[in-house]
Structure 1
Amino acid sequence: MKDWGELSETFEKIHKKAILKELNNESEAQTRFDIIDRVIREILQYVHGQISVEPHTEGVRNGFIDYILLASEYKIIVEAKKIGASFPSPTRRKKLKLTGTILGQGEISEAISQAESYARNIDADIVMVTNGECWCYYPLTTSSRNSIYASLLFPFENFDDAETLYNIFSVNNVENHSLKSITTDNDVILNNKLIDTLNNSDYRLGRNNIADHIMPGIDYALLSDNLLRNSEVLNRCYVSTDSRVKFDTTLQMHLSQYKPNLILPAKKVKRGNSKDDLFKQIDITTNTNSNPVTLLIGSVGSGKSTYLKYFELVKSKELLKEKKAHWIYIDLEEIGIDGNPREFIYNSLNNYLLKDNKENPTDYESLIGPAYAKEIEALSRGPYAMLKKNKEKFEEKIIELIDSDYKKVEPYVNKVYKYLSSKQLCVIVIDNVDLFENEELEKRVFSEATSISKSIKCSTIVSIRDTTFIKHKNNSIFNAYELKKFWINPPSFREVLSKRLIYAQHLLKGKSADVEINNGITIKVDDLSLFFSIVQKSVLNENNGKFLEYLSDRNPRKGLHLIQNFLTSGHIQADKAIRNYIEGEANFTFPYHELFKGSVLGQWKYYKETRAEAINIFESNLGSSSLQLVRLYILQFLHSRSKIGLSEVLLTDIRDVISQIGISIDSIKSIIKTLVNHSLIHSNEEHLEDPSYYITLSGGYYIAFLSNLMVYTESVMLDTNIYDNDKFEELTDLTNQIEYERDILERMKIRKNRMIVFLEYLIIIENNILNNPELEKLKSITQIKEKITKEFDKAISRIEYRNKKSC
C-alpha cells in the first residue's frame, strides 16, 4: 500500500482535472468518474470488493447510495454530487454544526439528509457527502442532530486537507482504527486472549520419562546431518521412490504439480535408477569439456542435499572412483547471512586441498609441486639461477613463492585447481544457496560460485529451490551462463519416516534402561527398541500418519522435526506405552490427541502460534473482529476451487471475493504471505504482479480435518482474540473453572461449554460479515461447531462409561 508521499503525484493529476472550469457543468456521474471515484480508488486505495456503487436500499427512504465503502468492521456512506452543486466554500472552520446555517440548508443539507437516511438503513458508521471539492463527514450516532458537528475538508484547495483525508479514510488507516478519531468507539481490543489469563501460560512440561534414553536413536536416525556423513547409513535410509499424488481422495482436492511450468525444460531425476541423467552427464564429462552450469532444482524438503550426498557416496561412488574425479561439496549453510560468498567459496576449495584425500591425493608431491612446476622452472632460469645449485636455499625461495600465494588464498587456489582440472575431472557442488532466503545473497553466491568454477575450469552443480530459480530466471546473472537443469521430486513421505524409525529401532536394539514412571516406580526396559515399535505403529497408521504427512505438506524435513518433537514431548505418556507393551498389550498405539500435542506443542503446555508447529486459522491478527477469520476464508475459497479442479487461483480473483469482507489488498497480501510461510498455500509465480496461488495438502488438511477437531480448536482458542468483552469474561470464567476442576467428567463438561461459547462468538462474526450469496459459500463455523460438539459428547460418554464400570 502506497503512503501519502508516494501518492502526491497521483493526487496532483486528479487536482489538475478538478480545477478545469468545464467540470462545473458536468453531471453527478461525470464528477464521480473524474474526481470522486479516482480519489476513492487511487488515493484512499479501496479495491473492487470493498466498494459498492449505488445499491438499492430499503427503509424510510428508498433510493440510491453512491458508494458504500467497507474497511475492517466499518461502513462508510459516500453521497456524491456534481462539482457545481452548492456546497460550502473553503473556510478556516474545520467543523460546522449539522443543523447550522451553512450545513442546515440548501443542496448540502439535502445531500446530508439523504445520505444519513441511507446510512441508518444499513447500519453504517460514517456519513460523507462530497461534490469533489468539499468533503463533509461525521459519525452516525444516536445523539440529537442538533448536537452533531461535521468536519469539512477541501483537498484541492489545501494540500494539508488532502493528507488529512488520506490519513483518516485510506483503507489501510481505517483498518488500523483511524476512524476512532472521529467516532465514539470504545478503545480497540488488540489482545483479549485466554492464554494471557492463565498464571502459567509459559509453562514447560519438559521431556517425557523415556526421552533421554532414546536420544541416540533420535540423534542418529532423524537428524539428517548424521546420515549424510555415513555411506552405509545413507544407503540404508535413502528413499528411491517419489511422492506422486495428483488427486487426494481423503481431502477430495486436486493438487498442483510439484514441478512448475517455469522450470521447463528440466529433466527429472529418477531416484530409483542406478544410472539417472545426472549420472550419465558425469559419465560423459571430461576435464577438457566446457561444461554448462548444472542446476538441481526442487521444492523445500525435496531431498536435494540428501540426493547429492547419496550420489557421491553410494550411487556414483564407483563412477567417481573410476574417473578419479574430485567431488568438492560446499555447504553454504555455514556462510551465515552476512558472509562473503567469494571468500567462503575460495576457503572451502582450499580446505578440500588440505584434506587427506587418499584415493585422489592433493598433497605436495602429487599436486602442489606439479601445479607450480612452471613457476619453479622459471625461477631456476631467472633471478634464482645462481641458487639452483644450493638446493636448500633454492627450496626456501620456492616455499616463499607458494607461501605468498597461499596466504592470499585466491592465487593459490586458482593455480592449483587450474592444474588439477587439466588432469582430472573436478566437480564443485554448491548446496543450500538459498537457505537464508536473502535475494541479494543468493545473487552474489550464484555469481561468485559460477564465475570461480568457470575460471578454474571445474564442472559446477548448484542446488536451489524452485522458488529461487523462478525468482532469478530472468536475471542477467543466470543468463550469463549456459544452464543444464534437473528437477527432483520430494521422496515418498511415509517411506522416509518408516526407514528412519526402523533405523532408530536398529540403533537401540538390545539397549536397556531403568525408566521411572509417574508414580515414582522404576521399570526395567531390557530392549529400548520396543518403544520405536510402538512409535512406528502410532505414526504410520492411517489416521496419525496422515496428520504428520499433511501437516508437514509431505515435506520429510518438517515431518521428521514433528516426530522429534513428539518423541521427546511431555504431552505423551511414553512410560505408559512401554509398560503396556511389556505387559502384553502389543496393539498399544499413541492416541491422536497425544500425537497432535506432542508434535505441535513440543514441551510447551499451552498453544501460542509464535512457538507452535501449527498456525491458528481462527485469528488473522489484524485487530478487528470483522477480519478475524480471513485466514480461514482464504483457505476455504482456495479449497473449494481445488475440489473442482481449479487449483491455481489468481490474486485478483482472491481479492475480488475476500475484499467484500472489508479488507484491503495489502492486508490480503499480508495474510497470504503468512499462509505461504506456513506452507498452507503456495505459488510458483510470486515474482509476477498478479500471481496465482493454490492450497497445499497442509492447507486442505486444516480446512477438511484440523479445524473440525476438538484438540486443534481448543488449543488455538487460547491464542485467539475475543473482541466481545462479555464473551471474553464468560470464557475467562470457564477457563478458570477448568484449571481448578479435578473431577475428569465435570472438567470435560465445562470444556464443552467453553467451546460452544467460543464457536457461537465466531458464528456471530461470520453471520455479520458473510452476508451476500458469494460470501455465504465460505460459511463454515456452524458445521465446525456441530462436529466438535459431537466429539465432546463422545468423550463425555466414554468417561461416564468408565466411571460406571469402575463402580
Structure 2
Amino acid sequence: MEELATTKQKIYGIVKSLKSDNANEAETRFKLIDTILKDVLNWETKDIDVEKHVREDNVSTFADYILKTANTAIVVEAKRISNFALGDYNQRKILLGRRFLETELGSAVVQARDYARGLGIDFACVTNGVLWFIFPAQRHDQVSFNDSSGILFSSLDEIFDTYYSEFTGLINRSSVLAGSLELNLYGRAENQIDQRHLKSFFSPYSNISKDNPIYENLSNQIVTSFSEKVLSFDAEEFSRLYVPNAQNIRFDTKIRMTVSKRDTVVSKKTTRLMKAKDRERFVEKIAINNDFSKLAFIIVGTVGCGKTTFLHYLEKVKLQDLLSDKSNNFHWIRIDFLESTKDTPYTKFIYDHLFKYIQNSNLGEKDYSILPAYSEEIESLKRGPLAFLSDENEKNREISNLILADYKEKSPYIEKIFKYHADKSNIYIIVDNIDQIESDEKQGELFSATLSIARKLDLNLIICLRQSTYIRNRNSPLINAYDYEYGQIDPPSVLGVLSKRFDLLSAIVEGISFSFIAENGAKVKVENASEVIGLLKESVLGSEVGRQIDILASEDLRLALRMTRDFLEKGYSNTSQGIQSYAEGKKYILPRHEALRAIIVGNHTVYDENYSAVGNVFDSKLSIHNLQLLKLFILNACVNRATLSSFEGIDGDEIIEHLKNIGVAKKYTRQVLKVLCAQRYLFTPSHTVSEDIAMYAPSRLGGYVVRELLVDFTFLENLMFDTYISDDETWQNLKEISHEIESEKNIIRKIDIRVKRIRFFWKYLTKSYSPLLSESLKRTLPSEWCNDLFGDNTVSLESTFSRVKRSANRNYSKPKRS
C-alpha cells in the first residue's frame, strides 16, 4: 500500500504540473502516460512500441503506442491532458453507437480503431493520462463494432480511490496476458468460435473404402495375434511370445536427440524386473518362502509397458512348476479389476474371486482344508451343545449345517479357510488394473478394500500400478499400511514384440486358404495364408513402417499393437501386387504414407485428435489465435534443448518464465504442458503433472514430430483437417481448393492440387508461429526458443513436394506409345 500511495502522489504531482503548463500531447505522453503504463500497469519497455507506422488509404499516419506481446496487442491513442467533454457519457460501459462516436472522445475512439484495424490489432485505448477508455477495435464473432461497448475510467480520482482493482484487472500486463480484455469486452477469453475445421466439410480419404483383403480374410487371427488375447495362451506358447528384456535407447541419431529416461518413482530400493538377475531374485523370493513370512510388493510401470503381461509371465512360466504341484502349498490368486462392474462393491468383488479360487483348488477339499480350518469350532461344539446328541450322523449333520451356513454367506467361510492356511502356505493375492478405474475416490475405496482383506486374511500381496497412480497415493495411509518391496517394469522393444506376434500369426493361419478380387479385377487365390504373413512382416519390421509404429507408440505396447492392427486393416493398398512380388522373391516396398495415414487416422475417415493416437501439434485447442501454435512452440524448444548430450530435462518454472516474458499467461502454459504430456510428446522424468512444476523432457515421438514429421506430406495433410483456421483468406482458399480436389478425377492433377493446399496451410502456420518467434527474438530468449521452425524447414518441405509428385508420376502416368 505504501508503494501505491507513493506512485499515486507522484502521478498527481505530474498532472498538476502538466495542467499548469498547458502541456501538449508529447509532454503528456512522456511524463504521465509512460509512468502509468510502466509503474501502475506494469508494462515493460520491450512491450511498448511508439510511433508505429500505419498506412491507410495511401495516407501515412502513426499510432502513438502499441502494447504488444506474443498473445495480444493494444493500440493506445494518446491525447493532451486537457479534459474531454463527456456530456451524457459518464457511465462505466458505453455503447459504441453512432451518437457516441460523434463526441470528442468518440472521434478519438474512431481514430484509434482505424489504427488498430490497419495493424490487425483487436483492442484499443484512448487516454489523456487522466481519462482511460478501453474498447474492442475489431471483432471475430459476428458482433458489429457499433453494437460493442467500451469501458470508461473518467478520472484518476475514480481510478485510485474507487476502481483501482477493476482498472488494473482490465489492462495491466498480467491481466491482459490472462485474457482480461477478451473476457470483459467480448464476454469470453476465447476468440475462435466458428467451426473452421476442414474435417467438418471434407474428408481426405473419401475415396478409400476397401479394406486390405488379407485383413478381411484373416481378421480374427490378426486381432488374436495383435491384442491381449494372447494372455490366455498356454505356458509354452506364451513363453515363446514374451520379450523379457527392456529397450534401451540413449541417443537417437536420426533425430539427433538425447532420449531421457524416466526416474524411478519409488524412493526405496527398486527391483528392475526386466533385468534377468533382478527378475530371478524376485522370483526366488516369492517361490522360496519357507517360513511363510508375509510379503507385499508394488510393481510399477508406465501405461502399456507390459505390467499385466509380466504377471502372466510369472504365472505361466516362472512359477509354473510351483503352481502345478499342489503339495507345494503355493497359491496364486490373480484379481483383475477390468472385470469389475460399477454395481458390485469392491469387497464383494474380491471375496467372490477368493471364493471361486477355494472352490477350484485344494483349499476347498474336506480333509485337506475344510475340517482343519473348522477343527476348533467343531471340537467346541462336540464338547458343548452336540454332546447331548448320541447319533454321530446327527452330529455330523449339525456340523455340516454350520459350515454350509458360512459357505452360503461366503465371507466367514473364506476367512476361516485362508486364516488356517496363512502360516502353512504361501498364498498370494495379485491385484491388477486398479488404475483402470478413473475416479481417484473409487481407486481409494479399492485400495482400502484390497489392503483390508489382505491384512485380515494374512495374505501375501502383489499390486500392479501405473507410476502416476502410485505417485498420487504414495503418501497415503493405504500405501503405508504395508512395508512394501518395489518392482519396476520397463517397456521391452516394440519391434521385438511385433516380431514375435507376426511369428504367432504365421503359425495360426498355417493351411488357411482364401481368395479375393485384385485392384485390376483379377481373382487372386492364396493357397496357404502363412505364406503372405511374411509379406506383412516384411512390410513392418526392418522398414519405415515399423519405425513409425515404434516411435509413435512411445513405449506403449498396447498402443503399438493397435497401430499395427490399424495398419494391417487400412494401410495396405495394391495387395495383389505385393503378394505377387513376394511370391517371386522380390521385396515389395509399401508406400510409407499409406502406413502413416492408417496409424494417424485409425478406423476413421478423417483425422480427429480425439480419436487418434497422434495429437495435433498445430492446434493448442485454447481457442486463441495467437496461441494456436503454443504446443508446437514449447515442444520445439524442448527438442532443441535435448540435442545437448548432457540434457536431463528442462525445468517447468523456466518454461513458464520464458513464456511469461513474451506474453503468455501461466495458466495457458500449464494447460499446454499438461496436454503435451497426455499426448506423449513430453514426459516428466518424475511422472508428475501437477501444480508443482516438474522437469520436462521430449519423448522420441516429440523429437520425431519436430525433426521429421513436420515436413511429412501425410502428417501435414491429416492434421490440417483438425486445425482451426482463423485467417479469413486462408480459410476461403482451403475450402475452394478442397472442393477442387474432390472434383478432380486425374490422380496426378489431384496430387498437384493437394500440394497447393498444403502450401497455403504451411503459409498459415508460418504466420501463426510468427508472434511467438518474433517476441522470443525481441526479448533475447535462449537459442532453443528462437529458431525459425517453419522458415528453416521450407526447403525440406519443397523437397517433400517434389518427391510426392515424382512418386505420383511414376505410379500413375500412362506409358507413352512407341
**TM-score normalised by structure 2 residue count:** 0.82
Query: Quick one: structure 1 residues 661 and 54, their matched pair in 2 at CA, closer, same or farther if it must change by over 3 Å?
Result: closer
How far residue 601 of structure 1 moved from its aligned partner, in angstroms, is 2.0
2:723 pairs with 720, 724, 733, which one?
720
2:134 aligned counterpart, secondary structure? strand
How far residue 758 of structure 1 moved from its aligned partner, in angstroms, is 1.3
How far residue 409 of structure 1 moved from its aligned partner, in angstroms, is 2.9
Query: Quick one: structure 1 residues 585 and 163, their matched pair in 2 at CA, closer, same or farther if it must change by over 3 Å?
Result: farther
CA distance in 2, matches of 1:316, 1:668: 49
Structure 1 residue runs of 5 or longer lacking an equivalent are: 1-16, 42-49
Match of 2:466 in 1: 465
Structure 2 residue runs of 5 or longer lacking an equivalent are: 15-31, 54-60
Match of 1:751 in 2: 754
CA distance in 2, matches of 1:35, 1:194: 45
Match of 1:549 in 2: 550
CA distance in 1, matches of 2:786, 2:336: 48
Match of 2:25 in 1: none
How far residue 503 of structure 1 moved from its aligned partner, in angstroms, is 1.1
Quick one: which amino acid aligns to residue 135 of structure 2?
Y
How far residue 120 of structure 1 moved from its aligned partner, in angstroms, is 9.9
CA distance in 1, matches of 2:380, 2:34: 83
CA distance in 2, matches of 1:54, 1:478: 50
Query: Quick one: structure 1 residues 208 and 543, their matched pair in 2 at CA, closer, same or farther if it must change by over 3 Å?
Result: closer
Match of 1:398 in 2: 399
Residue by residue, what CA displacement relative to the aligned partner does 1:195-253 show, whole Å, maximum 9, x if unpaired? 22228988983632222322243233222233344212210101122111122222211
2:355 aligned counterpart, secondary structure? helix
Assess if the C-alpha contact under 8 Å between 1:194 and 1:732 holds in 2.
yes
Query: Quick one: structure 1 residues 289 and 558, their matched pair in 2 at CA, closer, same or farther if it must change by over 3 Å?
Result: same
CA distance in 2, matches of 1:686, 1:79: 45
How far residue 177 of structure 1 moved from its aligned partner, in angstroms, is 6.0
How far residue 32 of structure 1 moved from its aligned partner, in angstroms, is 12
The 5 A counterparts of 1:468-487 are: 468-487=469-488
Residue by residue, what CA displacement relative to the aligned partner does 1:57-88 show, whole Å, maximum 9, x if unpaired? 355899997x9464744447699999xx9999
CA distance in 2, matches of 1:587, 1:669: 48
2:353 pairs with 328, 331, 348, which one?
348
1:698 aligned counterpart, secondary structure? helix
- In the alignment, structure 1 residue 179 sits paired with structure 2 residue 192: no
Moved more, 89-98 or 760-769: 89-98
Query: Quick one: structure 1 residues 136 and 38, their matched pair in 2 at CA, closer, same or farther if it must change by over 3 Å?
Result: same
- In the alignment, structure 1 residue 611 sits paired with structure 2 residue 616: no
1:308 pairs with 284, 306, 311, which one?
311
Match of 1:512 in 2: 513
**TM-score normalised by structure 1 residue count:** 0.83
Match of 1:377 in 2: 379
CA distance in 2, matches of 1:202, 1:29: 71
1:365 aligned counterpart, secondary structure? helix
CA distance in 2, matches of 1:443, 1:620: 33
Moved more, 317-326 or 472-481: 317-326
Assess if the C-alpha contact under 8 Å between 1:269 and 1:488 holds in 2.
yes
Assess if the C-alpha contact under 8 Å between 2:75 and 2:125 holds in 1.
yes
2:332 aligned counterpart, secondary structure? strand
1:380 aligned counterpart, secondary structure? helix
Residue by residue, what CA displacement relative to the aligned partner does 1:471-506 show, whole Å, maximum 9, x if unpaired? 222222222321111112111221111111111111
Query: Quick one: structure 1 residues 148 and 743, their matched pair in 2 at CA, closer, same or farther if it must change by over 3 Å?
Result: closer
Match of 2:370 in 1: 368
Assess if the C-alpha contact under 8 Å between 2:304 and 2:558 holds in 1.
yes
1:643 aligned counterpart, secondary structure? coil
CA distance in 2, matches of 1:123, 1:503: 61
Match of 2:668 in 1: 667
CA distance in 2, matches of 1:319, 1:374: 30
- In the alignment, structure 1 residue 689 sits paired with structure 2 residue 692: yes
Query: Quick one: structure 1 residues 220 and 126, their matched pair in 2 at CA, closer, same or farther if it must change by over 3 Å?
Result: closer
2:230 pairs with 226, 229, 238, which one?
226
Query: Quick one: structure 1 residues 274 and 181, their matched pair in 2 at CA, closer, same or farther if it must change by over 3 Å?
Result: closer
2:642 aligned counterpart, secondary structure? helix
1:460 aligned counterpart, secondary structure? strand
CA distance in 2, matches of 1:144, 1:476: 59
How far residue 98 of structure 1 moved from its aligned partner, in angstroms, is 8.8
Match of 1:138 in 2: 135
1:786 pairs with 779, 788, 795, which one?
795
Assess if the C-alpha contact under 8 Å between 1:263 and 1:470 holds in 2.
no
Match of 2:214 in 1: 210
Assess if the C-alpha contact under 8 Å between 2:85 and 2:104 holds in 1.
no
Moved more, 232-241 or 438-447: 438-447
The 5 A counterparts of 1:377-776 are: 377-387=379-389, 389-569=390-570, 572-582=573-583, 584-644=584-644, 645-659=646-660, 662-683=663-684, 684-687=687-690, 689-772=692-775, 773=777, 774=780
Match of 2:334 in 1: 329
Quick one: which amino acid aligns to residue 123 of structure 2?
I
Moved more, 162-171 or 506-515: 162-171
Match of 1:248 in 2: 252
CA distance in 1, matches of 2:188, 2:196: 24
Residue by residue, what CA displacement relative to the aligned partner does 1:336-384 show, whole Å, maximum 9, x if unpaired? 46753222222221121122x3xx4533333223212221222222223
Query: Quick one: structure 1 residues 240 and 23, their matched pair in 2 at CA, closer, same or farther if it must change by over 3 Å?
Result: closer
Assess if the C-alpha contact under 8 Å between 1:70 and 1:76 holds in 2.
no
Assess if the C-alpha contact under 8 Å between 1:207 and 1:603 holds in 2.
no
The RMSD of aligned alpha carbons is 4.4
CA distance in 2, matches of 1:178, 1:521: 67
How far residue 804 of structure 1 moved from its aligned partner, in angstroms, is 6.2
CA distance in 2, matches of 1:451, 1:441: 15
